[in-house]
Structure 1
Amino acid sequence: MRAAVLHEIGSDKLDLPDDVSTIDVGPGEVRIKIMASGICHSDVSAMDGTLPTMAPAVVGHEGAGEIVEVGPGVAHLAPGDHVTVSFVPPCGNCPDCHRGEPNLCAVHAVEAFTVPRFRLGESRLFGLSGLGTFADEIVIPAVGAVKVDPDVPFETAALIACGVLTGVGSVLNTAQVKPGSTVLVYGCGGVGISVIQGARIAGATTIVAVDPVEAKHDVARRFGATHATTPDGVEELKQQLTAAQGFDYAFDVVGSPGTIRAGWDHVRRGGSVIVVGAGKADAMVQFSAQELFLHDKKILGSLYGSAHIQRDTAAMLRFWRAGMLDLDGMISKRIGFDDLNAGLDVLRSGSSDVIRQVVSFD
């Protein structure tokens, strides 16, 4: 079968062989025919080493498809079921899961670094985040496959798998934004647009989108931002919109020290900064002990939108059906498997007219 292979960390190109195979389906696992996969910035971050991953590996982690085989012990899924996939499948038995924080479950996440999922000749290949959705088929733990109704388009389901759960979840789950709030969002890519939509769903009345690429501002407004500006314009809008007090919430979807610190500087005393973007391990943010104490601001990390994948996937689809969450409009471009490298280059370029690219495998 076809699969997009990263042979070594730091390479900016994926090999596209057609003679890759998956591991056999074991107990508690399922085989999925991938029908659609979104191209996420985390794929690029894994390739360049920003996010930890194993190599060689099949890249891709935002996908949806159809169950074609189930392993022993799998009773809740059957061949023919349509599913979206999760890169943090909850085991259900660890302390994190018992605390109601399944997005922090490390059981299957650790397996992503220890259990190869594919074969290429004599080589064993890992799957990015335990998945590898840039492939015709994948074999994953059954708890990482979330059943969706058959009328949900595969490309719609694929977006929910990562970007939408991460962005909307950071608003509804992590920050728990209150109606009438003022919200600042740094970064207007796919996850940033999902944050903006989440803020709108939560009832925020002021949503300021921040991006240095001015061409992205109209896109942000289309999805719910009430204002849009470059970083240089944030202070002026803070003065106008909050009587200089600062915003209630600032979401950093960039993952850089500069934007995290800017979020801190522009939220009010008692406000919250939510770090959604995946930054580098050595990228340090500096605060004084005094300001942390005096301003009573909160810094919240948001891994995978603090999501419960079964509950929140269903919620995203209800929002979508109700016309409250525009998933179809987030798809800027549909490409084929052979165009994957070009799609990754578009993402690296920061193109203003691309929110999400979806790779079709049908």
Structure 2
Amino acid sequence: MSSYTTRSAVLRSSPGRYEVLTLDQDAPRRNEVRVRMHAAGICHSDDHFATGDQNPAILPIVGGHEGAGVIEEVGPDTVGYAVGDHVVFSFLPVCGRCKWCSIGLQNLCNLGQHLGTGTRFDDPGTYRLSLDDAPVGQLAGLGTFSEHVVVSTASVITIDPAIPFTSACLTGCGVGTGWGSSVNAAEVSAGDVVIVMGVGGIGINAVQGAVHAGASAVIAVDPVAFKRDTAVKFGATDAYEDIAQAAERARELTEGQGADSAVVTTGVATGKHLGDALDAVRKGGTCVAVGLGDTFTKDGDINLHTLILHQKRLQGALFGQSAPMADIPKQLDLYRRGYLELDGLVTATYPLDRINDAFDDMKAGKNMRGVIVFD
């Protein structure tokens, strides 16, 4: 029997729109905590489920996978967590025991297979939310668009209480995905010329990561003037409306060779985006694919001739190839010491009841990151 109720933003169809409903919620069990949410980031990935580009395995499902809050209850026999702890969630869970975790690839942890199912990682087919006695899923096992969440400790990281929730929550997806795509996946090094294609909530952090890694030129590409201007404020040396202009600028800087790497962080990625970005990099260069598109799209627009004969690399990147249990604390430490900007990423905040306004503003290009606040 449920112990609580909570208000949550729910998708009842895909395609569909988020509805704020009151759900029944179970108390936390072993290796689970119940968290009062304070902030939840608005990410394009959540919208992919609303548009039908990605399909959840269960409906209804509570959206949201970036979040931060305070633990209000700890499940029985759950060690390492206490009531009152401030926490942030990693949208990718980390078991610490599977092959991928054991070789340092936490972002590929086997628990990730359940991200779209809305179920419990350690007990597939069971749920902690219900509506009229029917199960309700939690996206990424989190469902952060909810006033309270019951989550697995595989997704929970304790943080310094001095860090604002609105900034901390962004490290659970957007910051690590963008930052890591430059630092880890593209392997940006001092003096590199880097193109970042799509400068939203992910791409702006790819800009920050490239700057931090020592790139001599960071060329931002976005059709929205506000985002181009913001990219320059965050360290981009150049900003253009389209990839052709960026590619030409990269060739100007490299005696015609092209960028050392290009990071594709468009909101809805296509094969053409990847093809254009791959064409913009030099021989031996790297194109990093980050943005998601329609899950049913299997084709691309890749020049196999130059991919092979110019020895280029097309690299996928999940969560920026991060090890979240190590990298999220590291990013928050960089934030505290002034090396990573988080506060300025938050363009606007919204109450839960205006969640669809937040998504509309995101798609209109008005925000770098919108954040739902629960206080």
TM-score by length of 2: 0.92
CA contact (8 A) 1:112 1:128 kept: yes
Q: Secondary structure at the match of 1:4?
A: strand
CA contact (8 A) 1:58 1:126 kept: yes
Once residues 3 and 64 of structure 1 are traced to their aligned partners in structure 2, the CA distance between those partners, rounded to angstroms, is 15
Structure 2 match to 1:250: 262
Runs of 4+ in 1 over 3 A off after TM superposition: 286-290
CA offsets per residue over residues 32-74 of structure 1, 9 Å max, x none? 1111001111110121122232321011111000111111332
The answer on 1:6 being equivalent to 2:11 is: yes
Structure 1 match to 2:374: 361
1:271, CA displacement in angstroms?
0.5
Which runs of 5 or more residues in structure 1 are unaligned?
A: none
The answer on 1:42 being equivalent to 2:53 is: no
Give RMSD over aligned pairs.
1.5
The answer on 1:203 being equivalent to 2:214 is: yes
1:347, CA displacement in angstroms?
1.5
CA offsets per residue over residues 201-224 of structure 1, 9 Å max, x none? 111110000012233211110011
CA contact (8 A) 2:247 2:258 kept: no
CA offsets per residue over residues 112-138 of structure 1, 9 Å max, x none? 514433112222110111111010111
Once residues 223 and 308 of structure 2 are traced to their aligned partners in structure 1, the CA distance between those partners, rounded to angstroms, is 31
Structure 1 match to 2:121: none
Q: How many residues get paired?
A: 358
1:279, CA displacement in angstroms?
2.1
| Distance change >3 Å, CA 78–CA 323, structure 1 → 2 | same
The answer on 1:70 being equivalent to 2:74 is: yes
CA contact (8 A) 1:109 1:129 kept: no
1:355, CA displacement in angstroms?
0.5
| Superposed counterparts of 1:195-274, under 5 Å | 195-231=206-242, 232-254=244-266, 255-274=269-288
Q: Is 103-112 or 267-276 further displaced after alignment? A: 103-112
| Distance change >3 Å, CA 275–CA 111, structure 1 → 2 | closer
The partner residue of 2:321 within 297, 306, 331 is 306
| Distance change >3 Å, CA 95–CA 178, structure 1 → 2 | same
Structure 2 match to 1:22: 25
Percent identity between matched residues is 37
Once residues 142 and 131 of structure 1 are traced to their aligned partners in structure 2, the CA distance between those partners, rounded to angstroms, is 11
- 1:89 aligned partner, one-letter code: P
Structure 1 match to 2:149: 138
Structure 2 match to 1:97: 101
